[in-house]
Amino acid sequence: MSNVIQVTPTIQGPDGLFYSGINAWECKGPNVNCRQAHREGRSWHVTPPQFPSGVHVVLPTYHYATLELGVEAVNQALRNAPTITNDEDLARYRKMRISYCVPQGFIDPSRR
């Protein structure tokens, strides 16, 4: 992860404030999912910004064939991702493989 690219210097968060932006790097591992994605031709690991408010944007994958596809997926998630409010929302969005926002204080059922 030594070749991290900060794709956007700042980005507007769900709270309307601006934060450090999207990061990306060409990824080949060591994580099992990273190695698999690389073999499938999705070598760009693209991550959304982390907001101090505690809101996290979760994407169904963080691996993309091109940097541009990854950045567009993150930007689309920042614009359109619904916020989960309960365990049922979380299960539904994961099953549908869509992006979602996790509000501050929400604990994944698998970690309770």
Instruction: Please name the residues in contact with 48: beta carbons below 8 A apart, sequence gap of 6 or more.
Output: 22, 56, 57, 59, 74, 77, 78
Domain presence at residue 107: no
Domain presence at residue 97: no
CA distance linking residue 71 with residue 93, whole number of Å: 20
Instruction: Please name the residues in contact with 33: beta carbons below 8 A apart, sequence gap of 6 or more.
Output: 63
Domain presence at residue 75: yes
Domain presence at residue 10: yes
Residue type (1 letter), 70: G
Residue 56's pLDDT is what? Answer: 87
Domain presence at residue 23: yes
**Number of domains comprising the chain:** 1
Determine the structural domain holding residue 68 and report its residue range.
5-80
Residue 1's pLDDT is what? Answer: 46
Residue 24's pLDDT is what? Answer: 85
Domain presence at residue 105: no
Domain presence at residue 50: yes
Residue type (1 letter), 56: H
Residue 17's pLDDT is what? Answer: 61
112 residues of the chain, pLDDT tens digit each: 456 666 665 666 666 665 667 888 888 888 898 899 999 999 999 988 877 777 889 999 999 999 889 988 988 998 899 999 999 999 999 999 999 999 888 988 888 8
Residue type (1 letter), 61: T
3-state secondary structure of 102: strand
Domain presence at residue 27: yes
